[in-house]
Amino acid sequence: MKQLNLLKASMKQIRNFISNTFLGGVIIILPVLVLYSIAIWLFDYITDTADPLTNIIINQFSVSEASASFLTLVTVFILFSIIGMSVRTQLGNFFYTLFENWTLARIPGYKTIKDLIAQVTGDKTGLFKYVALVKLSENDYSATGFIVDEYGDEYVTAFIPCGPNPTTGFIYHIPKQNIKRLNVSVEVAMRTVIACGSGSAKFITLDHLNRN
């Protein structure tokens, strides 16, 4: 019996060691790995998209593929910076707005995608009117929703994004009595969606959950 108790104590110490050290290390390293994966995906996406430019650099300057990819990234960074600085000027913004209205705005879905990206980055709040808890069933299950439109005092259109990718989700046309408006900005709520709900406790209280 004594040996059995010693074995159980040893197993408990091993479990505690794994829990306090290995899992603790995973919690610290995992965000770094996720950021690294995102950086690699972004690098691959840019280099694949700019592959014709990379080939031109290889042929013109006779450099290795790695060097050409690096020069491509530098070129893209400089190009984006020039565009960003240009549209901040009055003249640049005028020509950009003119170009957008006559070309890009005519592409189906462009404005919606642009507004949604602006919401995620906190650039503006034009697409969504406000944030609300949306009751989806009679079992009092609620979801973080963004009210897109209202129809008098009876119905609203709510967008329920999927975490961690808020560019996809579901559109609900539901009675207004099934929503509870939250006193939080769209940007803050969108961050919790990207974080799979983490941080929601900052603005969702028990009063919000229990109030009819």
pLDDT band at 194; cut points 50, 70, 90: confident
- Element housing 175 (H / E): strand 169-175
In the predicted model, is pLDDT for residue 16 greater than 80? Answer: no
Reported confidence tier of residue 209, pLDDT bands at 50, 70, 90: low
pLDDT, tens digit (0-9, with 9 covering 90-100), for 81-90: 888 888 888 7
Domain-wise residue ranges, the chain: 51-106, 125-210
Mean of pLDDT values over 98-106:
84
Q: What is the mean pLDDT of residues 45-55?
A: 81
Sheet with 179-181: list strands edge to edge.
Answer: 169-175, 155-161, 142-151, 130-135, 179-181
CA distances from 84 to 81, 112, 124, 126 (A): 5, 21, 17, 21
DSSP conformation letters of 21-83: IIHHHHHHHHHHHHHHHHHHHHHHHHHHHTHHHHHHHHHHH---HHHHHHHHHHHHHHHHHHH
**Residue 25 CB-half CA count within 13 A:** 4
> What is the percent of the chain where pLDDT is above 70?
81
* CB atoms near residue 96 (< 10 Å): 16
Residue of 202, 157, 201 lying closest to 179 (CA atoms): 157
Q: Confidence class of residue 158 from pLDDT cuts 50, 70 and 90?
A: very high
Check if the beta carbon of residue 118 is closer than 8 Å to that of residue 126. yes
Look up residue 175 and give its two tokens: 């009675």
CA count, 13 A, side-chain hemisphere, 13: 6
Average pLDDT over residues 47-58: 82
Q: Is the pLDDT of residue 122 over 70?
A: no
Most confidently predicted of 14-18, 28-32, 94-98, 109-113: 94-98
Distance of CA 7 to the CA centre of its chain: 48
What values do phi and psi take at 174, rounded to 5? -130, 160
pLDDT band at 22 (very low <50, low <70, confident <90, very high): low
pLDDT in tens, 123-154: 555 678 889 999 887 777 888 999 988 887 88
**Average of per-residue pLDDT across 158-166:** 85
The per-residue pLDDT of the chain, averaged, comes to 79
- How confident is residue 120, by pLDDT bands cut at 50, 70 and 90? low
pLDDT reported for residue 105:
80
Nearest Cα neighbor of 161 from 195, 185, 138 is 195
Is 199 in a helix, a strand, or coil? coil
Q: What is the pLDDT of residue 208?
A: 58
Helix 65-88 vs helix 51-61: angle between axes, to the nearest 10 degrees?
120
Check pLDDT > 90 for residue 156: yes
Burial of 156 (0-12, 13-18, 19+ CB in 10 A): buried
- Between 33 and 116, whose confidence is greater? 33
